[in-house]
Chains A and B, each alone.
Chain A
């Protein structure tokens, strides 16, 4: 039954998910268009004379501002949409069908978390790809004549490789480990986010009135708890590595890595607890209005 649940959930969520991906493509196009302004092209010229601001430049800045705003919107938008979809299919009239299906509660939750998490991840990856392409298009515009983006990328990877090696050899800082931690956050983060939101929505259902408001309040409470725990762990880690940090760059490395690791672990533990809360609510405390 899990496969069937995932199939139908995918069908439902993918409509909005695909729309958001298309939106990212359109926004990216406008971002690229913004860098076609003479202002940016002029940066590549040695004897560029700035003749004052013109409407084309204003449009360029405004488009870039909108680009940032839209991408931030789409990133939050997909997370909010998955939350709304979860609420709608679990706790409103549509929940009458969802909860009378002959499927287990774990199957229900897993299918929703899996599909929503994948879509959040896809949209985040699309946003990362868009920003990367925009940076490359900017580089393409400002590079002096005779240089290509390919040349730039080749040099960049060479330099990064050198920096990574030198950081490790000279200062004992393992940049790759840090990046691995970040990549793990990007991959696991979407599932942690949706599980947290679903948990907050489920907590809202424990109240007899104002359930949506209580879900929002619960989410804010959970986020505050998460930040407090993270801050406490960071402070303890910082205090523990302070002496090393002052005397040795490895202390800083350990601090940064342990910060990323603890952030990931705290997020996963909280998501696991909130999954349990959601499961308890739908299996023992379900009260459809």
Chain B
């Protein structure tokens, strides 16, 4: 079975007027870097949250490795949210201990080496770090796991171009090639070169799921240019 993620009839309605994800059915394979693309409010983050058990679907379900989202799937999914989920009062070393304790696939040495490459002292408290550095620490924690699925929600939003390069390099150099990376972003131009496949979402609906090569061959355009065409206002 090559499918890593199976989404069936997935819907998330916050109320009768606000349906964030609308009846999505989709299967995603292993070993791919997939861009989850769409304008603001298209339902990307809602879909990602449901994959990580942070939101309960209104209808439908998601299976990862054949299992419904739950305790077992969380052991194999490395998730980077679009916010800081670490308590500022903690030292980085304490967070490393935390990850070591709970994630069997967490590689402490790998994390330490990545921190060292950025000259980040593990004894520092998170609140003493700049926002950008805290985001990098969080990315290092996520990418130091040997997970089946990496779900990265807006990993390059709000950072300078140099930091973007670092983040993308970290993702590319550290993810397990047998696993899948699902990456949501608005900044398509920056990540296009690393993507194998893309998912376009609009108003909670799945608009397109195809390979990057297919877009280039069929439409003769880059993903960025095609995205602009599809989502033109």
Contacts and interface: CB of A to CB of B under 8 A. Distances in A.
Contacts of A96: 54, 79, 81, 83, 85
A65 B74 CA distance: 52
Contacts of A1: 102
B56 A285 contact: yes
Interface stretch (A100-108, A110-118, A176-184): A100-108
Contacts of A99: 52-54
A12 B102 CA distance: 16
B215 to A, nearest CB: 32
Contact of A97 (B56, B85, B94): B85
Interface residues of B, number: 26
Contacts of B49: 288
A94 interface: yes
Contact of B77 (A93, A100, A104): A100
A105 B153 CA distance: 24
A100 B54 contact: yes
Interface centre among B15, B54, B83 (most CB of A within 10 A): B54
A101 to B, nearest CB: 5
A103 B81 CA distance: 19
Interface residues of A, number: 24
A54 interface: no
Interface string B74-90: 11010101011111010
A7 B101 CA distance: 10
- Most chain B CB within a 10 A radius of its CB, from A96, A286, A287, A288: A96
B72 interface: yes
B102 A102 contact: yes
B86 A97 contact: yes
Contacts, number: 59
A94 B71 contact: no
B55 interface: yes
A287 B56 contact: yes
B171 to A, nearest CB: 18
Given A100-B77, A102-B103, A286-B56, A94 B72 contact: no
A205 B84 CA distance: 20
Nearest to B83: A93
A103 B98 contact: no
B77 to A, nearest CB: 7
A286 B54 contact: yes
A8 B77 CA distance: 21
A12 B88 CA distance: 12
Contact of B55 (A101, A102, A286): A286
B14 interface: yes
A47 interface: no
A63 B122 CA distance: 45
Contacts of B52: 99-100
A142 to B, nearest CB: 46
A284 B56 contact: yes
A286 to B, nearest CB: 6
A108 to B, nearest CB: 10
Contacts of B71: 102-104
Centre residue among A102, A103, A284 by max chain B CB count within 10 A: A102
Given A93-B83, A288-B49, A103 B55 contact: no
